[in-house]
């Protein structure tokens, strides 16, 4: 028997205009956790997709337990015990969580689905690993965090023993990440072999045994985690030193740009108040962050403010004007920029080219059209400028179909578009989700720059480090209410955690009053 569960030897894969994998060799030992590290677009997802049978390598071999195999499709992969948790979830929107988990290995009796047994197994798994899901919710209605948990449960449900995690933690809360790390370690102890992709070096340090590093499609090195530190890893990855602790000037808040008064938003499924009389203010020149555990109303709060969800009651005031019931177009053109939580659902038209996506909210402006005709050259020029300025990497530049871009580069494209639009309020939900450290550094600096040039920034992030690093003021949201306000310099992660979990709350005078 071979010492390796998986060996991928000299894998090469080309896409139009780019060599995504260039002679990469990767070996996964049995029962180990191997991290895969690389910048956005380095070719990690491509390599994993080849292993999972979604793509065919142009050349190279794959060995499972020492035997060469040909993995033609995910069914083959499943046959060899390979399961994958995708970076961009592959869930059926109109199915329930339970149905999605059992999809492809349904137990039937006389041709009828045996949902009861499946449900028991799923509930047991989700209890065991603390992966909370609502089995009966439709996937289109749940948050990305819960979609992620659904994907993980699906792998566990299928009893796969080679598990690929493509950026599973990008959308999880710190607590959930800790949980997942524990689960992964336990799974490895059970003899499962795990491939783990993450841009977060501390996670890799915490769980991985070894780490393989890719750069621009090429194999760089494989290191033992006990021999390296995060600095060394990031240096191997980008080829230079990274400074993630932003050295920003203190905020100089000016006039209020966004005021939310007593906002109530109904939950789409259960009809309860997902946002319950929440109020806040964002002033020009400051970064206000809503911290909280996923599913406490942040999602609905942002969607109501931006216009993606209807408001039950309350007011949203932008630059002194009540925009509660204005159209999204109106908000877009009156100073609001929005980096959405779900880049595939809202952020991009995936079948449009990169340049078409760059003008998604601006195609009708005189800069890009005359008498209804799009000025192709101006769109191209504009897109090229953004691509260069924000270092958006893709196979064919402006005409690349957005669907084929790597996750991190899709995110960079959205960020470029939203930051470049004229705005004095920037709403950013998980803006650095899925970005490599180099890109995060850059995006953080861009957000700070936007603040310093006079915009108010409303940030939603589940990553407490990002929250602490970036914000000038922190609001904690719990159960649809704002339960505390903090100065990042005078608080710490532990204190925030207590508020986020609902163990403590401040007396938010303003909120209470208006609630009556």
Ligand X SMILES: Nc1ncnc2c1ncn2[C@@H]1O[C@H](COP(=O)(O)OP(=O)(O)OP(=O)(O)O)[C@@H](O)[C@H]1O
Binding of another protein by 13 (CB under 8 A): no
Half-sphere CA count of 18, side-chain side, radius 13 A: 18
Candidate segments 44-52, 137-145, 235-243, 441-449, binder of Mg ion by CB under 5 A? 44-52
Q: Which of 27, 35, 39, 45 binds Mg ion (CB under 5 A)?
A: 45
Partner from Mg ion, another protein, ligand X, none binding residue 20, C-beta < 5-8 Å depending on class: ligand X
Binding of ligand X by 234 (CB under 6 A): no
In whole angstroms, what is the distance from residue 291 CA to residue 228 CA? Answer: 32
The residue (of 58 and 252) whose beta carbon lies closer to another protein is 58
**Least separation in angstroms between CB 19 and another protein:** 8
Q: Which of residues 1-30 bind ligand X (CB under 6 A)?
A: 15-16, 18, 20
Using CB positions, name the residue nearest to Mg ion: 45
In whole angstroms, what is the distance from residue 431 CA to residue 421 CA? Answer: 16
Q: Which of 26, 45, 285, 464 binds ligand X (CB under 6 A)?
A: 45
CB 235 within 8 A of CB 433: no
Q: Which of residues 110-139 bind ligand X (CB under 6 A)?
A: none
* Residues in CB range of 111: below 8 A, 6 or more apart: none
Q: Which of residues 400-429 bind Mg ion (CB under 5 A)?
A: 407
The residue (of 58 and 136) whose beta carbon lies closer to another protein is 58
Q: Which of residues 431-450 bind ligand X (CB under 6 A)?
A: 434
**Least separation in angstroms between CB 37 and another protein:** 27
Q: Which of 54, 63, 181, 350 binds another protein (CB under 8 A)?
A: 350
Q: Angle at Cα 296 formed by Cα 293 and Cα 298, nearest 5°?
A: 95
CA distances from 158 to 65, 153, 303 (A): 19, 9, 35
- Closest by CA to 345, choosing from 416, 429, 264, is 429
Neighbours of 190 (CB within 10 A): 9
**Least separation in angstroms between CB 52 and another protein:** 19
In whole angstroms, what is the distance from residue 305 CA to residue 328 CA? Answer: 10
In whole angstroms, what is the distance from residue 153 CA to residue 149 CA? Answer: 6
What are residue 316's phi and psi, to 5 degrees?
-120, 120
DSSP secondary structure letters along 468-503? HHH-SEEEEEETTEEEEEE-GGG--HHHHHHHHTTS
DSSP label at residue 135: T
**Least separation in angstroms between CB 369 and another protein:** 5
Residue count at the site for ligand X (CB under 6 A)? Answer: 23
Q: Which of 27, 44, 200, 473 binds ligand X (CB under 6 A)?
A: 44
Binding of another protein by 31 (CB under 8 A): no
The residue (of 331 and 343) whose beta carbon lies closer to ligand X is 343
Candidate segments 149-157, 264-272, 351-359, 420-428, binder of another protein by CB under 8 A? 351-359
In whole angstroms, what is the distance from residue 308 CA to residue 30 CA? Answer: 46
Q: Which of 119, 315, 346, 505 binds another protein (CB under 8 A)?
A: 346
The residue (of 257 and 405) whose beta carbon lies closer to ligand X is 405
Secondary element (H or E) of residue 85: strand 82-85
In whole angstroms, what is the distance from residue 146 CA to residue 269 CA? Answer: 14
The residue (of 85 and 286) whose beta carbon lies closer to ligand X is 85
The residue (of 145 and 438) whose beta carbon lies closer to ligand X is 438
What percent helix, strand, coil does the chain show, rounded to 5?
A: 35, 25, 35
In whole angstroms, what is the distance from residue 174 CA to residue 467 CA? Answer: 12
Q: Which of residues 381-420 bind ligand X (CB under 6 A)?
A: 393-395, 404-409
Q: Which of 42, 211, 238, 302 binds ligand X (CB under 6 A)?
A: 42
Partner from Mg ion, another protein, ligand X, none binding residue 296, C-beta < 5-8 Å depending on class: none
Q: What is the largest CA-CA distance in the chain?
A: 71
- Closest by CA to 343, choosing from 431, 460, 419, 442, is 431
In whole angstroms, what is the distance from residue 413 CA to residue 394 CA? Answer: 10
* Residues in CB range of 503: below 8 A, 6 or more apart: none
Beta strands in 151-308 (DSSP E): 162-166, 193-197, 210-215, 218-224, 256-266, 273-283, 287-291
The pattern of x and - marking residues 294 through 333 that bind another protein according to CB under 8 A reads: ------------x-x------------------xxxxxxx
Q: Which of 69, 103, 360, 501 binds another protein (CB under 8 A)?
A: 360
Partner from ligand X, Mg ion, another protein, none binding residue 345, C-beta < 5-8 Å depending on class: another protein
Instruction: Tell me whether strands 112-113 and 108-109 are parallel, antiparallel or unpaired.
Output: antiparallel
Q: Which of 78, 87, 96, 303 binds ligand X (CB under 6 A)?
A: 87
Partner from another protein, Mg ion, ligand X, none binding residue 40, C-beta < 5-8 Å depending on class: ligand X
Partner from Mg ion, another protein, ligand X, none binding residue 46, C-beta < 5-8 Å depending on class: ligand X
Q: Angle at Cα 382 formed by Cα 248 and Cα 367, nearest 5°?
A: 110
DSSP label at residue 344: I
Candidate segments 184-192, 199-207, 341-349, 472-480, binder of another protein by CB under 8 A? 341-349
Residues that bind another protein (CB under 8 A): 14-16, 19, 58, 306, 308, 327-333, 338, 340, 345-352, 356, 360-361, 363-364, 369, 372-374, 376, 380, 396-399
Residues that bind ligand X (CB under 6 A): 15-16, 18, 20, 38, 40-46, 87, 393-395, 404-409, 434
Residues that bind Mg ion (CB under 5 A): 45, 87, 407
């Amino acid at each position: 028997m071979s010492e390796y569960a998986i060996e991928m030897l000299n894998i090469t894969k080309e896409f139009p205009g780019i060599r995504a994998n260039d002679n990469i060799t990767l070996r996964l030992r049995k029962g180990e956790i191997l991290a895969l590290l690389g910048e956005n677009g380095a070719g990690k997802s491509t390599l994993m997709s080849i292993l999972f049978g979604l793509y065919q390598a142009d050349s190279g071999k794959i060995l499972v337990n020492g035997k060469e195999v040909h993995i033609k499709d995910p069914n083959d992969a499943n046959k060899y015990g390979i399961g994958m948790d995708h970076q961009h979830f592959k869930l059926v929107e109109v199915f329930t969580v339970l149905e999605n988990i059992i999809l492809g290995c349904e137990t039937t009796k006389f041709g009828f689905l045996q949902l009861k047994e499946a449900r028991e197994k799923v509930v047991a798994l989700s209890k065991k690993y603390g992966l909370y899901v609502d089995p009966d919710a439709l996937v289109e209605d749940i948050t990305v965090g819960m979609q992620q948990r659904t994907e993980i449960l699906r792998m566990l449900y299928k009893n796969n023993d080679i598990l690929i995690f493509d950026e599973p933690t990008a959308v999880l809360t710190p607590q959930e990440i800790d949980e997942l790390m524990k689960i992964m370690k336990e799974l490895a102890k059970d003899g499962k072999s795990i491939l783990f992709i993450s841009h977060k070096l501390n996670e890799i340090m915490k769980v991985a045994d070894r780490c393989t590093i890719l750069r621009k499609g090429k194999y760089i090195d494989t290191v033992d985690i006990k021999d390296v530190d995060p600095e060394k890893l990031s240096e191997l990855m980008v080829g230079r030193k990274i400074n993630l602790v932003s050295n920003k000037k203190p905020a100089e808040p000016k006039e209020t740009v966004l005021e939310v008064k007593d906002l109530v938003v109904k939950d789409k499924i259960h009809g309860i108040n997902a946002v319950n009389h929440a109020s806040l203010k964002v002033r020009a020149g400051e970064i206000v962050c809503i911290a909280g555990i996923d599913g406490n109303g942040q999602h609905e709060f942002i969607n109501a403010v931006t216009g993606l969800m209807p408001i039950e009651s309350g007011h949203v005031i932008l630059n002194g004007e009540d925009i509660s019931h204005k159209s999204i177009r109106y908000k877009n053109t009156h100073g609001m920029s929005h980096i959405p939580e779900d880049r595939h659902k809202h952020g991009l038209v995936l079948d449009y080219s990169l340049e078409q996506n760059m003008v998604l909210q601006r195609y009708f402006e005189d800069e890009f059209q005359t008498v209804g005709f799009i000025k192709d050259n101006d769109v191209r020029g504009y897109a090229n400028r953004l691509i260069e300025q924000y270092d958006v990497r893709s196979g064919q530049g402006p005409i690349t179909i957005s669907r084929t871009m790597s996750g991190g580069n899709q995110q960079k494209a959205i960020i470029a578009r939203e930051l470049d639009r004229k705005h004095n309020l920037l709403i950013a939900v998980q803006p650095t989700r899925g970005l490599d450290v180099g890109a995060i550094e850059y995006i953080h600096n861009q957000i700070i720059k936007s603040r310093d040039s006079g915009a108010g920034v409303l940030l939603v992030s589940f990553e407490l480090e990002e929250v602490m690093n970036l914000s000038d003021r922190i609001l904690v949201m719990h159960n649809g209410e704002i339960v505390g306000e903090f100065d990042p310099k005078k608080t710490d992660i532990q204190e925030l955690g207590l508020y986020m979990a609902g163990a403590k709350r401040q007396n938010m005078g303003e909120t209470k009053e208006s609630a009556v």
